[in-house]
Homo-oligomer: A and B are copies of this chain.
Amino acid sequence: MIAVAPGLDVAPELRARLADLFGAYDEALEQGDFECWPEFFTENCFYQIIPRETYALGLPLGLLQAESRGMLADRVAALRKTTLYAPRIVRRLVGSIVLRAIEPDGMRLSASFAAFQTMLNEPSQVFLCGRLYDRVVDDDGTLRFAERICVTDATLVPISLVFPI
């Protein structure tokens, strides 16, 4: 369930809709359905993967950054062409999702995540963990991410970061 910050009054239906958004996002990535991935974002979205250290200092530059749905689609195209794709599986696990605030420009949510990587003929390993900071808006009746900032706990992030988080 989506947890709600103290003082926020949120209808059960909204909690359910938000849970469905996160669930559908997980499901799409899990199925390797990367072509659908940009559809979870608004046209003028902001997507970033940034180490905690950089984020905490307020520095703007992430390891990966996209400022529109088109740029996300470009990333998917790049991912499809990379030879790194086939031999590994990335497994994401997202913890409890908290609706922290409802602001004029959208709903602010956050959740911790861990990602595991499995190379061919090797055991699964943790390869990344951190916190997602999201801004979700109602985009003509559909909930979409206007912003997803993936703040990674590690400063050095492995190359397989080409995968969407």
Q: A92-B95, A121-B155 are in contact. Are A1 and B19 (CB under 8 A)?
A: yes
- The 8 A CB mask of A88-115 against B (1 = contact, 0 = none) is 0101111111101000000000101110
* Distance in Å: Cβ of A159 to nearest Cβ of chain B: 12
List the 3 closest A-B pairs by CB distance, nearest first.
Answer: A3-B23, A1-B1, A118-B153
The binding surface of chain A is classed by DSSP as mixed
Residues of B within 8 A of A93 (CB): 93, 95, 112-114, 129
The yes or no answer to A44 lying at the interface (CB within 8 A) is: no
A1-47 residues at the B interface, CB under 8 angstroms: 1-6, 12, 15-16, 19-24, 26-27, 30
